[in-house]
């Protein structure tokens, strides 16, 4: 059977954080690997982008993975899972330039609704009307 992918998956190694591929949202099968020397540097690199839709942290320790996930500025963060996971009852959306607000779940009602009071007086209320 012929592969029907539009673009074959690719891994880019030794990427620098100032490269375009590291600073833009790539909606493609591209994995960007940026070498770092510490957990703190990894968090800084992850936060040094104008985007923040979703991310993932892989760790042998769930507690450490959760700790790191909470420090990264994204709308969604996954520990030991893929970076995108859409559930209809969970808010979906990003931070920074990765969208405004959240969709899905009850949170979407507030994001996409404006409360407005419209009053209609059909009969005179006051004698001077």
* Domain assignment of residue 58, yes or no: yes
Instruction: Provide the strand spans (E) within the chain.
Output: 10-12, 30-32, 51-52, 54-57, 76-79, 95-96
Single pTM value for the model: 0.64
- Answer whether residue 29 is part of any domain: no
Q: Which of helix, strand or coil describes residue 9?
A: coil
Percent of the chain with pLDDT over 90: 36
**Residue 21: closest CA among 29, 32, 7:** 32
| Domain span including residue 82 | 36-111
Question: Residue 65's Cα: distance from chain center in Å?
Answer: 17
> In terms of C-beta density within 10 A (0-12 exposed, 13-18 middle, 19 or more buried), how is residue 87 classed?
exposed
For position 46, what pLDDT does the model report? 92
Banded pLDDT at 67 (limits 50, 70, 90): very high
Q: For the chain, what is the mean pLDDT? A: 82
Say whether pLDDT at 51 is over 80: yes
Q: What average pLDDT does the segment 19-47 reach?
A: 90
**Number of domains the chain is built from:** 1
124 within domain boundaries:
no
User: Residue 13 pLDDT more than 70?
Assistant: yes
The total of other beta-carbon atoms located within 10 Å of residue 57's CB is 23
Residue-wise pLDDT tens digits, 98-124: 766 666 656 666 666 777 788 888 888
Residue 7 within any structural domain of the chain: no
Q: Are 60 and 80 in contact (CB under 8 A)?
A: no
Is residue 85 over pLDDT 70? no
Find which of 5-9, 50-54, 99-103 is predicted with most confidence, using mean pLDDT. 50-54
Nearest to 51 by CA among 32, 79, 36: 32
Question: What is the CATH classification number for the domain harbouring 57?
Answer: 3.40.309.10
Of the candidate ranges 50-54, 57-61, 75-79, the one whose mean pLDDT is the lowest = 50-54
């Amino acid at each position: 059977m012929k592969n029907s992918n539009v673009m074959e998956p690719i891994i880019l190694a030794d990427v620098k954080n100032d490269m375009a591929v590291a600073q833009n949202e790539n909606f493609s099968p591209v994995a960007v690997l940026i070498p770092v020397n510490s957990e703190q540097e990894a968090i800084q690199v992850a936060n040094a982008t104008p985007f923040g839709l979703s991310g993932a942290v892989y760790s042998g320790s769930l507690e450490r993975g959760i700790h790191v996930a909470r420090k990264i500025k994204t709308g969604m963060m996954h520990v030991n899972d893929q970076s995108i996971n859409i559930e209809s009852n969970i808010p979906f959306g990003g931070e920074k330039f990765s969208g405004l607000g959240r969709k899905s779940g009850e949170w979407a009602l507030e994001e996409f609704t404006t409360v407005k009071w419209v009053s209609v007086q059909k009969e005179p209320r006051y004698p001077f009307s």
